[in-house]
Structure 1
Amino acid sequence: MTALGGSNTQVRTGRLVLMLIAGALVLLCAGGAGVALVAYRDATEPDRSSPDVAVDNYLRAFLVDRNDTRAQLYACRTSAQLTVMDALRRDIEAREAEHSIKIMVSWGSLTVDERAGRSDVTVEVRRAIADGSESDRQTYRFDVVDENGWRVCGAYRV
């Protein structure tokens, strides 16, 4: 009889160990999923933490990557005042097509004049032919508003 009683105890102990291991695995997986979710959100969420960062990201998305969907993440919902940027990009694309060249866009440091919930960001935008034969510089001022993160609402050539 002791052999049967001992066997039953071993089965219960074995089940308990298996349940503890399974519970620990579930907790580890749930914790790992939470960490993965936070890492994914941080990697994919647009950085609109400051006015200059929002303008920099907008310029990169709109003029360098030419990705309208990504650029909209940094723009105000009603971005009618960004027609100057639309015209600049159309001009770049037209020159590239007409002359069979690649125009590189870059910019210097961004100057921020911040006041309550609004900012003006001024930056010099440079366009250069990829071979370095020609370049030009234009200064722009961007109106940036804090709408649950900074967003570009207007652009004006200075």
Structure 2
Amino acid sequence: MQPQEPAPGPFPPPEPPHQPDSGVPPQAPEKPQKPRNPRRRLWLAVAAGIVALLCLGGAGVAVLLYDKETKIDRAAPDAVVDNFLRAYLVNRNEEEVALYACKSGGDFAALEAYRTDIQNRESRFSISIQISWEGLRVATNSTQGTVDADLTRAIGDGSEQITDSWRFAVIDEDGWRVCGATKTG
């Protein structure tokens, strides 16, 4: 019996692969690898899922703690005046002052003159002047009020100290804010 001829069709029969004759015998096909254990994959996926959930939970807790620690406290008028004075006279940071000042601005001309006088004395005499305050006394009705405070400026070496009384106008605008400052004594 003779071998059958390939049936005629639209495509010619494939040619056998051409291998150069290098004198090296062809290698035997690789042994099939042992199939992977599906249980091992399952445990790895479960472990990866648990680690991912722990990371997300930790990130959530970190965000909540950060938010709590950096929250601006405007719940009490005396706390707002305290933070305002620290920002205005000690840190001299206008961005921080804006967090505690009235949204529409305020009348801080007298306090600005006080701060300018301190800065001029520091540069003219090459000294450091420390500002402190005490005796914050609050008088408010439901949405506005005043906070009285005694501001003390002292030369860094303690050789001179002057205390002045001030009154700060406060208003409740989604939390208390300072709207003005006047020297009372």
- TM-score normalised by the shorter chain: which range applies? 0.7 to 0.9
SS in 2 for 1:70: helix
Cα distance per residue 1:50-104 (max 9 Å; x no partner) = 1111100110111011111111111112223122221111110011111111110
Show the counterpart of 1:3. Answer: none
The range that moved more, 38-47 or 68-77, is 38-47
1:36 pairs with 2:62: yes
1:90 pairs with 2:144: no
Q: CA deviation at 1:42?
A: 2.3
Check conservation: 2:106, 2:178, Cα contact below 8 A. no
Cα distance per residue 1:100-119 (max 9 Å; x no partner) = 11110001121111210222
Show the counterpart of 2:15. Answer: none
The residue identity in structure 2 corresponding to 1:136 is I
Q: CA deviation at 1:44?
A: 2.5
1:47 pairs with 2:73: yes
**TM-score, normalised on structure 2?**
0.76
Show the counterpart of 1:124. Answer: 150
1:65 pairs with 2:91: yes
Show the counterpart of 2:178. Answer: 152
From 28, 34, 37, give the equivalent of 1:11: 37
1:143 pairs with 2:166: no
Q: Which runs of 4+ in 1 moved over 4 A?
A: none
**What is the total number of aligned residue pairs between the two structures?**
151
**TM-score, normalised on structure 1?**
0.87
Structure showing greater radius of gyration is: 2
> d(CA) in 2 for partners of 1:69 and 1:139?
26
SS in 1 for 2:124: helix
More helix by share: 1
Show the counterpart of 2:103. Answer: 77
Q: CA deviation at 1:155?
A: 1.0
> d(CA) in 2 for partners of 1:109 and 1:14?
69
Segments of 5+ residues of structure 2 without an aligned counterpart are: 1-33
> d(CA) in 2 for partners of 1:154 and 1:54?
13
Check conservation: 2:122, 2:129, Cα contact below 8 A. yes
Show the counterpart of 1:103. Answer: 129
The two structures, once aligned, show a CA RMSD in angstroms of 1.7
